[in-house]
Structure 1
Amino acid sequence: MNKNILKKLVLFLLFLILFVAISCSKNNTSDFLFIHSQKYNQFNSEQKEEYLDSLELISKSLSNDSLTRRLLFHLAGEYYYLNRLQKSLNLSNKVFQLSSEVKDTMSIAKSLYYIGDCYELTQKDSTYFYYQKAEKLYRLLGNKERIGRMLFNKAYLLFYDGNYLESEIQVFKALQFLKNIDNDELLFTCYNLIASDFEKLEEYNYALKYYLLAQELLNGLEKDENDFEIKNNYKVSLSVNIASVNEKQFQYSKAEKELESVLTEDLKVKWPKDYATVIGNLGYVKTKLGHLKEGEAMMKEALSLSSKIGVESSVVYKLHNLGKYYFDVKDTIQSTHYLKESLQLAEKLKSTDDVKVNLQLLSKIDKTNTSSYDKRYIAVSDSLTKVQRKNRNKYARIEYETAILEDANKELISRNLYLIFGVVVLIVALGIRYVVSQRKEIAYRKKLQKAELEFFELMQSSQIALNEAKKEEQNRISRELHDNVMNRLYGTRLQLGMLNSITNIEAEEKRLDQINSLQVIEHDIRAISHDLHTDAVASHFDFAVLLAQCVQQASSTTKTSLHFESTPEINWESISGLVKITIYRIVQEGLSNVVKYADAMECSVTISQPDSATLLLIIVDNGKGFDAAVIPKGIGLSNMKTRARLVKADLHIESAPGKGTRIECRFVV
């Protein structure tokens, strides 16, 4: 018998067995024979695809009933896991049409979900659109688990587009639907995604809290022996994430312990990709704990293994870690080499976050090209901001323009028209309320983001001005050395050369004069060296310096004597950009009021830290004051109150005619 005919016959018999198995288990859609059979699992990818193609061909002759639709869903799912996305999409569209013909709402929603999955790698806006449509149908059906799944899927898309705030909102909405659902694996992925959002937003305590919640769920999942490989991947990735947060909080011993807990021989043999990630991170942590040689060897092993496997995104991270390590041990040549390789690969992969961190570190190390790296960093940041804004607008448009639902279930409407009408009215009311609340929430988030961007631009303009001043000072010192010191040295050297061969008393006196000239030149060189040292110190960015500059600029426009004082112990690096920009704008507004209205002889601006959790800003003048109960229009105090309220600061204004004004603002940090 011909081999091809025999092969087709075997496939047909397998399909018959499958169909009988499906028919005998109408209430168990997850127990299809062909997925769990040992024979199928032994196939390679091409054999599996050929087998699925045969089943799909035979399914065309089947009637449109629930068993056929369930079979098509499983075929579409298998194609998806084999990364045959076009075939999965075709089957998903087919089952959508079949489900629409018989008005099977649950299957319609599920097919929309599957269609969205197929577009994930190529058209994320289409994926979001189909998830949104599926979510609306699941809401109509009251299926909380599926609603939660769709909200999680949308949050996942937002996360990988860099919209961490919106992603966080969507996941918390998902958890509202999943809190009474028995699906620990879905809850685990939600907690893990929330933690990742908080980590990206640099809220490390919250990130660690949700990673640990995910870890508790994982302990329960590991008791189930099914899908051991997937659960092992969960365990490893979660430990890497927890260690990453520990590392960012400088808790290197905790990070080391967490990573060593998953470093097994099985990991190295069965999952080399995960093994490379673990030892790469562990190696960097060990260098921070002082085990330099051991850590360096582990990082290089991780890099070699990742390069061999061909996971370029992982290679970028490992190159960067090596660059950071060599920067820590003052080996700038090695550090620059690895960071440039990491940057080049990150640009190839269009990984914006990796490009930014590499540019930031290279700017500190490669001093001759600092200006170039800073410009590229600003350009990348601006580009990322535009992309994120575009994506936010795109997803918001999909949210608001998607139709609520067009006759999703006419059978239910025919049974109880009045009940369905009431449900529709309720859904519309809830939908309007939801849209209004979303707009308020989005508006608030935009205010936060605008404040962060405002502070970044302020630092950027300050740094540019600082660089220009530094360059001008360097040029002055260069001219001083060339035009003054060098010419005088040259003249003195000529005079001493001519006098060297003369031995009379007059020549000796002239030589003494030239030696004295050398002492004067030596003093001048010391003065230039001091200028260079002062310039190097001044190039360091400090927020307190920025505030002092603000006060200095105001003093140039008024006869009022302005004073500024800041407690040196304040750690400005640990204070959020939103609080800092609020402090800056309140100081700016307060000084503007003093210049315009106060007619004061003196004004002082002080900022102190009464305790570790509080910053206190005080602006006091001895001007003409005003009635605090009736604030004059245009004085700008309402702007101060608005800014203070945004960061939950406590602002008090004391003033009276002839008694000056005192503005006190207390920030919680």
Structure 2
Amino acid sequence: MDSISLLEKSSTRDSIYMDLLFNISTEYYYLNKYDLSLKITEKALQLAKQRKDTIAIARAYFYKGDCYEYNQRDSAYYFYHQAEKLYSFKGDKEKEGQTLFKKGYLLFYEGNYLESEIQVSNALKLLQNSKNNQLLYSCYVVMGYNFEKLEEYNNALKYFHLSKTVLDELKKSNVDFEKTNNYTVNYSINIANIYDKKGEYQKSIKELSSVVSPDLKAKWPKDYASVIGNLGYSKMKFGILNGVENAFRESLQLSKQNNHQNNIMYQLINLGEYYSITKDTASSIHYLKEANALAVKLKAVGEIKSTLKLLSEIDVRNNRLYNQKYISITDSLTKAQRINRNRYARIEYETAVVENENRDLIAENLYVVTGSIAIVLLLVLLIIYRYLQHQKKEIANKRQQQKAEEEIFELLKEYQIKLAQAKELEQNRISKELHDSVMNKLYGVRLQLGMLNEGDTQEVKQKRSGYIDFLQEIEREIRSISHDLHNETFETLFDYKNLLLDIIAQHNQISNTHFSFECEDEFRWDAIDSLVKIAIYRIIQEALRNVIKYAKAKNCRVSLSDGDNKLRLWIEDDGKGFDIALLENGGIGLKNMQERATQLNASFKVMSEIGKGTTIEVVFALK
């Protein structure tokens, strides 16, 4: 019988039962069965709330944070934050410090290094007198990682050295030796990484060499692989190439045997850089491409960027492609980090708002209690209702805004892919034209001139003159192709206006109606709200579809203009039109357009007469 069944049959509600719940939750957690661990923790939380046991409630929140840590980090952050507040209220500094470290740890892996540093620094203040050396060690290491990412290398060294001090204390205790040894290796790797960043490769080589041993290879092959790989990298950077290739390959082989994906990726990068230095370009490109593919699989953004940068420097023929990918990854990362920062800041802010409003409500209740209890209850209910309605509206707006931003990003990304494909087709066409036409003509002329070179009669001279004229024709043809290449017609700007131009072009290709688009060049799209952009795109998309399907128009003009703090969309066709009185019974398309406009408080008008075409006008108020 499993633990959950056993608990469901139990009716005990004392502290022993609660401890049993937490212990079983812990066991499931270490077995990576997070759903079961969460289910048991929920039982413990409900029981703790029934008993009004603040410490147990905080513990349950902390456990819930652990359960969400690997798959829903924003939820984990929320529950750690709840646990932190309760531990702070009870004055349990060590537990409060532990929750602050957990929050900082999450922020670090989301790329919020500055915020992570603040959280872990606050944790260390609370843990000054703590005897929990493993927790202190983890705090110092994460602080070192943060300063490394912030390129404050001296501060990073300071905290890694502090972690070594705690490590020495751990060795004196009864901590499992294998874990301690791993800590020692990790310390050396961390220190060496900073030395590498500072260009002090000799120090890095000395530090890593001190932990390399047959015993390390025999007992901890995974750690040994990391050490020799890092050691080979430091030697390569220092200019010592002897034995470096073998070190990288040995590290790669051991990492594959132990399925150490991160180190496999690093050694592939190292091999790619090594072969670049030794001028083996083909091997360098091979390993860097393999490293990039693995980095994409592992979602290692830093390594994706570094491999793309190296490939752009080494693979000259595809330099432009790699640079475009690098820029795209950088832009995506910047956007993701901004969203993450806003999300975690919002969790802190909303929790503080709730706490402040609760304090205000308590003060208000105490003040009004001398009056009528009925009036107090009515006021409280009214405030709560308004607050909930406001929160609900705020959350809905934020979700809608986020969805709009994501939709625009996906549309722009799709447009960029189409643009790249079109460029490739045009380049292939020009390449084929050069090969099949120009080169064959040149070859034929060269053969004929070679045969005529031996004669000197008037007839031979006339033929040679003819071929010289033919060479001039080939020259003009090459010049024409060169002109095509020079005056490239592809628009590479990755913006919203191109997205609208693209949808106009698509509809021109699939119908007999001529669609045109008018918009001022200096139009500032970055100042327009994302929800308005999506509404404009979808309304145009729906309107053009209706023109093709029903209007039978020869021409359709789409125009955008702004003025008087308003944005005006005008869609006009010269089709067969329809009776405006039947608009209420119109199709789904018109209703969808009207709903999109109404949701953004925009005016929506349809003007049409039979035989005189149709005009749609939408006016958005700009903030």
Same fold (TM over 0.5): yes
1:561 to 510, 516, 528: 516
Question: What are the Cα deviations for residues 123-168 of structure 1, in whole angstroms up to 9, with x where unaligned?
Answer: 222112112212222222222233233223223332312x234334
Aligned length: 472
1:638 to 587, 595, 611: 595
Question: What are the Cα deviations for residues 434-462 of structure 1, in whole angstroms up to 9, with x where unaligned?
Answer: x9999999988986786576456535644
SS in structure 2 of the partner of residue 634 of structure 1 = helix
Which residue of structure 2 lines up, in the alignment, with residue 353 of structure 1? 299
Cα 1:339–1:199 change in 2 (3 A) is farther
Which residue of structure 1 lines up, in the alignment, with residue 263 of structure 2? 315
The alpha carbon displacement at 1:180 in A equals 1.5
Matches within 5 A, 1:30-109: 103=12, 105-109=14-18
The alpha carbon displacement at 1:493 in A equals 0.8
Matched, 1:131 2:32: no
Which residue of structure 2 lines up, in the alignment, with residue 272 of structure 1? 184
Which residue of structure 2 lines up, in the alignment, with residue 224 of structure 1? 129
Q: Is this contact kept in 2: 1:565–1:607, CA < 8 A?
A: no
CA distance in 2, matches of 1:284, 1:160: 30
TM-score by length of 2: 0.57
Matched, 1:337 2:292: no
Matches within 5 A, 1:244-323: 244=149, 246=150, 252=151, 254=152, 256-264=153-161, 267=164, 271-275=183-187, 278-279=190-191, 282=194, 286=198, 303-304=229-230, 312=260, 315=263, 318-319=266-267
Runs of at least 5 residues in structure 1 that lack an aligned partner in the other structure: 1-88, 247-251, 375-432, 609-615, 645-650
Question: What are the Cα deviations for residues 408-430 of structure 1, in whole angstroms up to 9, with x where unaligned?
Answer: xxxxxxxxxxxxxxxxxxxxxxx
Cα 1:529–1:129 change in 2 (3 A) is farther
Q: Is this contact kept in 2: 1:280–1:302, CA < 8 A?
A: no
Which residue of structure 2 lines up, in the alignment, with residue 465 of structure 1? 418
**Which amino acid counterpart does residue 353 of structure 1 have in structure 2?**
K
TM-score by length of 1: 0.54
Which residue of structure 2 lines up, in the alignment, with residue 148 of structure 1? 58
The alpha carbon displacement at 1:199 in A equals 5.9
Q: Aligned Cα RMSD in Å? A: 5.9
SS in structure 1 of the partner of residue 89 of structure 2 = coil
Question: What are the Cα deviations for residues 289-341 of structure 1, in whole angstroms up to 9, with x where unaligned?
Answer: xx597899899968436959989365257458759989999989547525625
Which residue of structure 1 lines up, in the alignment, with residue 333 of structure 2? none
SS in structure 2 of the partner of residue 501 of structure 1 = coil
Which residue of structure 1 lines up, in the alignment, with residue 212 of structure 2? none
The alpha carbon displacement at 1:622 in A equals 7.9
CA distance in 1, matches of 2:306, 2:403: 22
The alpha carbon displacement at 1:240 in A equals 0.9
CA distance in 2, matches of 1:450, 1:225: 45
SS in structure 2 of the partner of residue 160 of structure 1 = coil
1:477 to 424, 430, 451: 430
Which residue of structure 2 lines up, in the alignment, with residue 114 of structure 1? 23
Matches within 5 A, 1:149-228: 149-161=59-71, 163-195=72-104, 197=106, 204=112, 208-221=114-127, 223-224=128-129, 226-228=131-133
The alpha carbon displacement at 1:110 in A equals 1.8
Cα 1:492–1:471 change in 2 (3 A) is same
Cα 1:185–1:266 change in 2 (3 A) is closer
CA distance in 2, matches of 1:583, 1:113: 50
Cα 1:226–1:188 change in 2 (3 A) is closer
Which residue of structure 1 lines up, in the alignment, with residue 445 of structure 2? 492
The alpha carbon displacement at 1:567 in A equals 5.6
Matched, 1:518 2:471: yes
CA distance in 2, matches of 1:231, 1:258: 17
**Which amino acid counterpart does residue 215 of structure 1 have in structure 2?**
S
SS in structure 1 of the partner of residue 518 of structure 2 = strand
Cα 1:509–1:189 change in 2 (3 A) is farther
**Which amino acid counterpart does residue 586 of structure 1 have in structure 2?**
A
Which residue of structure 1 lines up, in the alignment, with residue 346 of structure 2? none
The alpha carbon displacement at 1:484 in A equals 0.9
The alpha carbon displacement at 1:507 in A equals 3.4
**Percent same amino acid among aligned pairs?**
22
Question: What are the Cα deviations for residues 567-589 of structure 1, in whole angstroms up to 9, with x where unaligned?
Answer: 6998x8xx9xxx99746522312
Q: Is this contact kept in 2: 1:316–1:342, CA < 8 A?
A: no
SS in structure 1 of the partner of residue 591 of structure 2 = coil
**Which amino acid counterpart does residue 587 of structure 1 have in structure 2?**
I
